[in-house]
Structure 1
Amino acid sequence: MLILIPPSETKAVPVASPPVELASLALPELAPVRTRLIKALARLARGRAPAALDALGLSESQAGELAHNRELLSAPAGLAAEVYTGVLYDALELPALHRRGVVTDQLLIFSGLWGVLRPGDRIPHYRCSAGVKLPALGSVSAAWRKALRAPLAAHAGDQLVVDLRSGAYAGLWVPGGNAVTVRVLHERESGGVVSRSVVSHFNKATKGRLTRTLLESGEQPAKPDEFAWLVRSLGYLVEPGPAGTRPDAPVALDIVVREL
């Protein structure tokens, strides 16, 4: 089983540690693409601040992010498991899993700058979402869609792919037919009427907790129906999701939550 999750826009800043080693990251054959993106991002950060902030979708109050992007190859790098923070990662508790010896190698974190990372890969603080367009290089997403296609297909092989990504990150790589996508629905009752909706906080927290319990279980479901059975056995309410439009579309599942 291979579990795909998004990154987090909020990140810790590593200190007193060696810089990133591109050859040591997941799928080292992606190093040339990573190098091009890093250089383009650094050039952007060294240019006019208003243009750089606009390209990165940042406000003036976030101008400090440009300083981090200027020094990506020399800045201290920390474990991705510790650099990424925010709701999903707080619920996932990767550092605690590592301390307990829980294996997390089947987890892949998607990134606008790095493509994909393992939790144990070391990276610096950076700011570059999948929706960014870099001068002279163009769309970050387009670069990764091309670069990730063959390496990730080979890496996934015939494993079940559990896709918990959201937004633009889901478009960086499309898994084959042996895959599951998960949507989290928040169910609530008001005036006797039950409604369901996608709520960002519930979605991120539930996906973080789900990933943690999957890793803790040590189970390796090989097919979507085995995954659905496992998730139910872990205490979640699971229902079929919207049917896909392609013959090889991933199986869609909905997880229904009433409270965090």
Structure 2
Amino acid sequence: MNSILPVFRRSIRESWRGLIGWSLGIAAVLFLYLPLYPLFGSGGQLQDILKAMPKQLVDTVGYDQIATGAGYAQSTFYGLLGFLLVTIAAVLWSSAAIAGAEESGRLELDLAHGIGRMQYATESAAAVLLRLLWLGALSGIIVWALNGPAELGIHPPHIIGAVLALTGLAFLSAAAGLFAGALTGRKAWATGIAAGIAVLGYVFQAVAKQSKDLEWLNTLSPYYWVYHQAPLQDGVAVGGLLLTWGIAVALAAASALALSRRDLRG
């Protein structure tokens, strides 16, 4: 293979249909939920609904700020459904990128055609990141477009922070999956590690809300790092955002190093 960025280009070319499907899913959720806000928010109905729910449940699912437009968009999409969808995509893409390619035999074939191991891992990570950035950007564009019609009252620059937070969380899971795949060559391990990062991060911050004695769990939760300050309402927490992206980039780099030093099928 002599073309520029062969692994990256092929990955994008072969995944565009799936990317369209994920994009439609993101759009469907946003167009379904966000326009409903004026039906509930203006009459205080959301407040009444929240009062009828157990406080522990409200805190756990992040609905404590749902009565505002920014809080509603954050809670329903960026903190829950959007987080779920983009994370699933990240897990699937990252587990297939290196471990899946090795199990199918494609990795060894590509390496036999002159592609370096570090190059393979780096381009695979870049392809996953580009697709995640697209999903994040798409969500931001739709939120911006619905901001006025749905009466959300979001300060537009805050949308950028919310997009970076969501994408950073997803890429952290993806980078962990890439690293596990490069380290073990097993898709099951890559999938489990990538999903585990996201699940544990969400669970830790949810459990920490139940008791002050458990608040230390927040230090282990990437979800808390980027969302303890609601991005759409108060602006993203820059420190948590940089920490999340920094670890993700480090794991992506580590995946290239791990693949370069491991005997394939060894």
TM over 0.5: same fold?
no
TM-score by length of 1: 0.26
Quick check: which one's helix share is greater?
A: 2
Quick check: which one's strand share is greater?
A: 1
